[in-house]
């Protein structure tokens, strides 16, 4: 091992988000591969138990008075002092990372749909991400769709962008059906048949479409739509058929997937869409939009609705809920599809980006 990769591991240690799933999954994958790299995992907190042990890993805790100071000065300065050949973080890159910086950009939805973001967030992303791509030795992303969009919208990414798929996180652990129903009914207060949608509630996730689609169902299909996730902005009107359960634990989320008749993914854009894999693993049929990489991830394992019109979603939803054969087919295909994604393969593809950064010095 004659190369050192310094990784910003802070996001692997926080409460579950898509970013957390990526970083924790990548670290777990790196623990399974043999390579020329030794990995320095940097954080501003002690090593949590969830981080795997490996003879190739060293956990380094660094303090700084502010997160931005940590990202832009403390972390890259210490990584270089310790002889890092590669410095890996996400979205933004400190100038101190040059010329060995690698950045993961999950998607460029802020360029595709600027109105989906608050002005301050949009301003920061449109300034920092293209600059990071310009200075990066290599860029990682999580789907071929996202790779194509990054290279199209940020020309400096061409020739140095690598797609390394996400995979299913350790947070989803299917359980016996009786246990799942008990959690849904007793802990979350969800009664009767329902469909599910998951995510932080903000415009890009387009949860209002799921609510409107269910609101249009006939009385013969008394389903409600259960909405999980932290409040965001542009809040949805739940109506008589919507039920918000807020942030849920991994165990509760798993139970919700298992007991739902369908998972709805109406997002306007996704760089990947980990909840699709979560639903597949829980044998929950999926109805998704054409937003970003969702069709790429779903392949033939989901029903893909080509419009963002509520009436069309209602019609497709009604047809699916009345077709048990189709739902059974989707469950079987979902279980098969989720096995196509593996964190070890993600790690192996990530190492190719690291090698590109080493060679570009």
- Say what the pLDDT of residue 63 is: 94
Residue 317 is predicted with a pLDDT of 98
pLDDT digit string (tens) for 263-306?
999 999 999 999 999 999 999 999 999 999 999 999 999 999 99
Q: Which fold has domain 3-167+342-359?
A: Rossmann fold (3.40.50)
Query: What pLDDT does residue 220 have?
Result: 97
Sign of the CA dihedral 224, 262, 248, 15? negative
Query: Looking at the domain covering 177-338, what would its CATH class be?
Result: alpha beta
pLDDT tens-place string over residues 93-124: 999 999 999 999 999 999 999 999 999 999 99
Which of 107, 99, 167, 165 minimizes the C-alpha distance to 138?
Answer: 99
Confidence (pLDDT) at 201: 77
Sheet of 161-163, strand order: 57-61, 37-43, 3-8, 86-90, 101-104, 138-141, 161-163
What tens digit of pLDDT does each residue of 4-17 get?
999 999 988 776 67
DSSP, collapsed to helix, strand or coil, labels residue 89 as: strand
Dist. CA 151–CA 119, nearest whole Å: 24
CA separation for the pair 252, 277 (Å, rounded) = 16
pLDDT per residue over 294-347, tens digit each?
A: 999 999 999 999 999 999 999 999 999 999 999 999 999 999 999 999 999 999
Percent of the chain with pLDDT over 90: 89
- Could you tell me where in the chain the CATH 3.40.50.2000 domains are found? 3-167+342-359, 177-338
Is the per-residue pLDDT at 233 higher than 90?
A: no
* pLDDT at site 55: 94
Residue 238 has a pLDDT of 83
Q: What's the pLDDT score for residue 288?
A: 98
- For the chain, the distance separating the N- and C-terminal CA atoms, rounded to the nearest angstrom, is 18
- What would the pLDDT profile of 200-218 be if each residue is shown by its tens digit? 778 999 999 999 999 999 9
Is the pLDDT assigned to residue 36 strictly greater than 80? yes
pLDDT (0 to 100) of residue 235: 64
Burial class (CB in 10 A: 0-12, 13-18, 19+), 199: buried
What predicted TM-score, i.e. pTM, was given to this entire model?
A: 0.94
pLDDT for residue 16: 60
Mean pLDDT of the chain: 95
């Amino acid at each position: 091992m004659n190369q050192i990769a310094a990784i910003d591991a802070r996001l692997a240690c926080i409460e579950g988000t898509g970013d957390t799933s990526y970083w924790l999954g990548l670290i777990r994958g790196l623990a399974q591969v043999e390579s020329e790299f030794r990995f320095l995992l940097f954080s501003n907190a002690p090593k949590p138990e969830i981080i795997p042990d490996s003879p190739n890993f060293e956990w380094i805790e660094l303090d700084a008075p502010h997160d931005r100071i940590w990202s832009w000065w403390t972390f890259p300065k210490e990584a270089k002092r310790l002889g890092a050949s590669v410095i890996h973080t996400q979205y933004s890159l400190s100038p101190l990372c040059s010329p060995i910086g690698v950045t993961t950009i999950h998607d460029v939805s802020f360029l595709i749909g600027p109105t989906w973001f608050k002005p301050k967030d949009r301003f920061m992303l449109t300034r920092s991400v293209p600059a990071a791509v310009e200075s990066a030795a290599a860029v990682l992303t999580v789907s071929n769709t996202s790779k194509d969009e990054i290279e199209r919208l940020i020309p400096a990414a061409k020739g140095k962008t690598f797609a390394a798929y996400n995979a299913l996180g350790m947070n989803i652990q299917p359980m016996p059906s009786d246990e799942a129903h008990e959690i849904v009914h007793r802990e979350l207060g969800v009664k009767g048949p329902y469909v599910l949608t998951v995510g932080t509630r903000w415009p890009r996730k387009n949860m209002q479409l799921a609510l409107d689609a269910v609101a249009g169902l006939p009385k013969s299909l008394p389903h409600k739509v259960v909405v999980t996730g932290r409040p965001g902005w542009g809040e949805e009107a739940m109506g008589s058929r919507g039920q918000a359960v807020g942030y849920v634990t991994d165990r509760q989320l798993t139970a919700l997937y298992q007991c739902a008749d369908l998972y709805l993914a109406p997002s306007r854009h996704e760089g990947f869409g980990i909840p699709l894999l979560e639903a597949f693993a829980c044998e929950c049929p999926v109805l998704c939009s054409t937003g970003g990489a969702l069709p790429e991830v779903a392949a033939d394992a989901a029903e893909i609705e080509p419009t963002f019109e509520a009436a069309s979603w209602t019609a497709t939803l009604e047809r699916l809920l009345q077709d048990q054969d189709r739902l059974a087919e989707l469950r079987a295909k979902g279980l098969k599809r989720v096995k196509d994604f593996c964190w070890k393969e993600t790690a192996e593809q990530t190492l190719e980006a690291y090698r590109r950064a080493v060679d570009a010095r």
